Amino acid sequence: MADDNAVTIYSNSAITDTNKKKNSFTIKVGLAQMLRGGAIVEVSDPDQAKIAESAGACCIIVNEIVESGISRMPDPSLVKEIKRVVSIPVMAKARVGHFVEAQILEAVEVDYIDESEVLAVADENHFVNKHNFRVPFVCGCRDLGEALRRVREGAAMIRTQGDISKLGDIVTTVGNVRKVMGDIRVLSNMDDDEVFAFSKKIGAPYDIVAQTKQMGRLPVVHFAAGGISTPADAALMMQLGCDGVFVGPEVFSCADPYKKVRAIVQAVRNYSDPRVLAEVSSGFNEAMSRFNLDENSVEQFGTRFNLDENSAEQFGTRGTY
C-alpha cells in the first residue's frame, strides 16, 4: 500500500504520504464522492441540460449525437455553451487513450472527464494516464480486475458499463454489476495469503486489491450505466450496491422528459422504499413503450448484428424487453 499511486479510503484514516500526486488524487476522489447518491444524465444540447438540472440531476454529461462515422469528444463550444446555462457539474466524454482530447476538455474547464469506451477507441493498448490531469476521471469496467486497473491509472470514479445499444435492456448491466460485487464478496472472505494469487488472477495491482478487501467495496465511487431507463432500473442498481447511475439520452425521447428524469432521481434517492418507487414509477406507459422491441425494432436489430431472417424471427418470439 506504500505505492505512489495508492488510493485514499473513504474514512478519515487516509493513507498518508507527502507525495503531491497522491494528494491531488485524494482531492479528485473527494470530488467524485460529491456525486454519490445521484443520477448523471447524458445531454446533447443546452435545453436538455436545463431540464436535467431542474429535475434534480447531480451532474450532466455532454455527448454529441453522431448519426454515422467516428464518435469523438463533444465540440468544445457546445461544452462551453452548456456550462453557461447550468450550475451543476458538467462531465464530457473523451475517447479511450486519447490524452489530447482529455487535455482539451480540461482546458475548457469541465468538472469531470469520462474516458469512454462507448465512443470510438483512439488507442487499443493504452489508457490515459489520469494522474497527469487535475480533473477527476471516470472509467468504465465489466469486472473487478478491469475496475482496479483503471483506479491504478488514476480513475476517481468507476462506471460499470452494460448495454450500449440504447434499447433499454438492463440485463448486461445487472450481470456486470453482480459480477463486480460478487468478486468483492469473495475477496472480502479471503485470507490475506490468498490475496496475492487473487490479484494475479484478475490482473490487478496487489495493493489496491488489498485495500478493496479491507473496505469491502471499490476504493472509489461506483456508478452503473447502460439500459437504465426507468425508476425501477435505477433503484435496482442502487440495491445491488452502486453509488449512483448514469442515465442515457433516450429519456429525452418521451413525452415528458422532466417527469422521467425527476422520477429516476427520486428512485435513486429512495431506492429502498417500495412505496415511493411505486409512486414515482406511475404514469410512464407511453414514455416506456419505445423500449419494447416491436417487429420494426427486431428487423433493425437483426440487420445491425447480421442476424438472418430465422435468427431475427427466433429472437422476436422470445419476448420483448
Backbone φ, ψ for residue 222 (5° rounding): -125, 115
Q: Which residues pair with 154 in a beta bridge?
A: none
Residue type, 305: F
Answer for the pair 198, 7: CB distance below 8 angstroms, yes or no: no
Answer for the pair 31, 37: CB distance below 8 angstroms, yes or no: no
| Rounded-to-integer distance, Cα 189 and Cα 213, Å | 8
| Rounded-to-integer distance, Cα 176 and Cα 290, Å | 24
Q: Using DSSP, how many helices (H) and how many strands (E) does the chain show?
A: 14, 8
| Rounded-to-integer distance, Cα 298 and Cα 81, Å | 38
Answer for the pair 176, 223: CB distance below 8 angstroms, yes or no: no
Residue type, 152: R
Distant-in-sequence, close-in-space partners of 242: CB < 8 Å, separation ≥ 6:
160, 177, 222, 223, 224
Cell of 157: 470514479
Place of cell 491504478: 152
Answer for the pair 149, 172: CB distance below 8 angstroms, yes or no: no
**CA torsion, ordered 32, 36, 41, 45, to nearest 10 deg:** -40
- Catalytic center residues: 93
